[in-house]
């Protein structure tokens, strides 16, 4: 039998992302041993019941002892506390990484605490769902999805190469990017859409002239598609907003300007401007489908309970 890629992997945090990693690592035999740590007894017990790892600890420091790879799978705002907790227990030569949706702030939180001889390489799998916790994960989550690694200029090349291999074996396509650029790109493609969704769903909920039952009843007309994003984990998204503040504010001001232009086109009956924008955006969806990032099925391939295409 071939050697696993890492002898011992420690997962700190075992929610959607951590438990998906545990599952794919077991399936692909990427780790000789999987050690799991999380802060609450309830989550740790659940991870053990599902059988996600080989050993289980509430103490993150204990969990990383002797690990060749440590992956922090916690909300971005918990990064510094985790870095402090694990630092004295890390083995020389260990690779430490994370999966956080923001990179600059995570690097600032981790790097100062990493001991000499430990290689920190930040990472972000662009894959997820609106569900949380150890039951939400699945082994194919990362399949054909991008994983962005944002190593510093002084990062150890072998550690970066090994982490790239790890994510490729998890099914991902790997891209190396500067952390600042990552945060700007993600502000456009992920953070802004989530903020817009949280806002629109909140607005609909606040409207007094439209009843809640009407919002739910007629949701298939577009609203429903925003609710998936707006159902995402509140802790995770609070931390993303607080830790990618500048890029998000920059994108929000661009968004507000474009929204004002759209508002103006509607007010002045500028059909050409509306038609031209809507044609351009329709093309973007076609590009997503061509790139294999979205299903060509009508309505995202949704089916009703009879297995027929849903409205």
Residues in touch with ligand NAP (CB under 6 A): 13-18, 38-40, 43, 73-76, 78, 99-101, 125, 128-129, 132-133, 233, 236
CA dihedral 139, 141, 142, 143 (to 10 degrees): 80
Determine the Cα angle at 87 with ends 98 and 95, to 5°: 45
Question: Judged by CB, which is closer to ligand NAP: 129, or 219?
Answer: 129
Least CB distance to ligand NAP at residue 80 (A) = 10
Least CB distance to ligand NAP at residue 285 (A) = 21
Residue 102 is encoded by which pair of tokens? 């923001």
Least CB distance to ligand NAP at residue 296 (A) = 23
Question: Judged by CB, which is closer to ligand NAP: 84, or 181?
Answer: 84
Q: 262: which residues sit within 8 A by CB, 6+ positions away?
A: 274, 277
Give the integer Cα–Cα distance in Å for 10 and 96: 9
Least CB distance to ligand NAP at residue 246 (A) = 17
Give the integer Cα–Cα distance in Å for 120 and 114: 7
Beta partners for residue 271, in sequence order? none
Residue identified by tokens 């662009």 is 126
**263: DSSP letter:** H
- Work out the widest C-alpha separation in the chain, in whole angstroms: 70
Residue 198 is encoded by which pair of tokens? 């949280």
Question: Judged by CB, which is closer to ligand NAP: 72, or 204?
Answer: 72
Least CB distance to ligand NAP at residue 102 (A) = 7
Give the integer Cα–Cα distance in Å for 223 and 221: 6
Least CB distance to ligand NAP at residue 281 (A) = 24
Q: 98: which residues sit within 8 A by CB, 6+ positions away?
A: 71, 72, 73, 74, 79, 106, 110, 122, 123
Question: Judged by CB, which is closer to ligand NAP: 5, or 236?
Answer: 236
Question: Judged by CB, which is closer to ligand NAP: 114, or 277?
Answer: 114
Question: Judged by CB, which is closer to ligand NAP: 117, or 234?
Answer: 234
Least CB distance to ligand NAP at residue 16 (A) = 4
Question: Judged by CB, which is closer to ligand NAP: 15, or 151?
Answer: 15
Least CB distance to ligand NAP at residue 166 (A) = 16
Q: 82: which residues sit within 8 A by CB, 6+ positions away?
A: 12, 13, 60, 72, 74
Question: Judged by CB, which is closer to ligand NAP: 43, or 179?
Answer: 43
């Amino acid at each position: 039998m071939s050697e696993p890629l890492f002898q011992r992997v420690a997962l700190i945090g075992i929610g959607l992302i951590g438990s998906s990693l545990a599952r794919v690592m077991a399936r692909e035999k990427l780790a000789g041993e999987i050690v799991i740590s999380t802060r609450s007894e309830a989550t740790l017990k659940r991870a053990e019941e599902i059988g996600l790892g080989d050993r289980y600890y509430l103490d993150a420091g204990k969990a990383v002892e002797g690990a060749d790879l440590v992956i922090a799978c916690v909300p971005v705002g918990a990064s510094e506390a985790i870095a402090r907790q694990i630092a004295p227990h890390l083995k020389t030569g260990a690779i430490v990484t994370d999966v956080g949706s923001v990179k600059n702030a995570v690097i600032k939180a981790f790097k100062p605490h990493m001991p000499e001889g430990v290689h920190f390489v930040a990472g972000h799998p662009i894959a997820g769902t609106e569900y949380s916790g150890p039951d939400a994960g699945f082994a194919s989550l990362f399949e054909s999805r991008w994983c962005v690694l944002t190593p510093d200029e002084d990062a150890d090349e072998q550690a970066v190469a090994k982490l790239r291999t790890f994510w490729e074996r998890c099914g991902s396509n790997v891209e190396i990017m500067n952390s600042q650029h990552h945060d700007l790109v993600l502000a456009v493609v992920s953070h802004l859409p989530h903020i817009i969704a949280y806002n629109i769903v909140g607005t609909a909920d606040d409207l007094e002239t439209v009843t809640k039952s009407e919002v739910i009843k007629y949701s298939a007309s577009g609203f429903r598609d925003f609710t998936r994003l707006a159902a995402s984990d509140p802790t995770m998204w609070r931390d993303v907003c607080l830790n990618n503040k500048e890029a998000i504010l920059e994108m929000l001001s661009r968004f507000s300007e474009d929204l004002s232009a759209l508002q103006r086109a509607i007010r002045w009956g500028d059909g050409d401007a509306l038609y031209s924008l809507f044609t351009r955006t329709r093309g973007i969806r076609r590009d997503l489908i061509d790139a294999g990032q979205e299903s060509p099925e009508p309505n995202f391939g949704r089916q009703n309970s009879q297995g027929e295409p849903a409205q």
